[in-house]
Amino acid sequence: MNTYLALAESVRMINKGTHSILIDYDDTLEFIGKGRSAYVFKIEGTEVVLKVFFPDFAAVAKEEALIYQALGGLEYYPNLYEAGENYLVIDHVKGSTLFQCLQKGMPITENHLKEVDRALQLARNRGLNPSDIHLRNILITDAGDIKIIDVARYRQQKDCTQWDDLKNAFYVYYTRKHFPKKLPVVLLNTVAALYKRKMLPHYGGH
């Protein structure tokens, strides 16, 4: 059986400009996604994923490992099983991101938001500063629970209002009776791009 290190070393990629291109990986790995800093694979026959970072993001891998260690034991975050120079092994979370929920028309409830608030407060209680909380890193599991992934920015010093802004949009727009609960991907991506460019309102406070 391949070790996690061997599996991580089987992942071959090259940099092309500002992009990383995946070339090859072990047959026991199932590619499930690409983020801003890493490729993610489910390991065959297990319930864990291997997150292999791009060549220029080794520092992010180290930072995220330290944060997952700090979050250890909290039900809202994946468990960390191993960390290497450019990889992490964490729980495979089965469910849909809030982005996918909006795309598919799956309901998001006020209780889900309260659970996210609780998850973030528990992280703060451990000396962290949750940042970069967005629709793609909050999941509603198949059992209806909340899980949060991609925690690399949880030790930033700046005050991030992104989650407060999402909550405000939920109460101002999503809860309206006639507001559509299923939204096209192009609209969701456009709103995200406008928000990133500070062309939409930002709100403060927790």
Catalytic residue flag (residue 159):
no
List 88's β-bridge partners, or say none: 51, 83
**Residue 101: partners with Cβ closer than 8 Å, 6 or more residues away:** 107, 108, 140
- Please spell the DSSP secondary structure of 4-26, one letter per residue: HHHHHHH-EEEEETTEEEEEE--
- Residue 62 in marked binding region: yes
Q: Of the candidates 153, 163, 164, which has an alpha carbon nearest to the alpha carbon of residue 129?
A: 153
- To the nearest 10°, report the CA torsion of 144, 95, 131, 32: 170
Q: What are phi and psi of 67, to 5 degrees?
A: -70, -40
In the numeric block, the tokens 């909006």 are attached to 102
CA distance 99 to 123: 22
> What are the structure tokens assigned to 174, written together?
């999503």
CA distance 49 to 40: 7
Annotated catalytic residue, options 132, 142, 145, 165: 132
Answer whether 61's CB lies under 8 Å from 85's CB.
yes
Residues making up the annotated binding site are 62
Residues making up the annotated binding site for ATP are 62
List active site positions.
Answer: 132
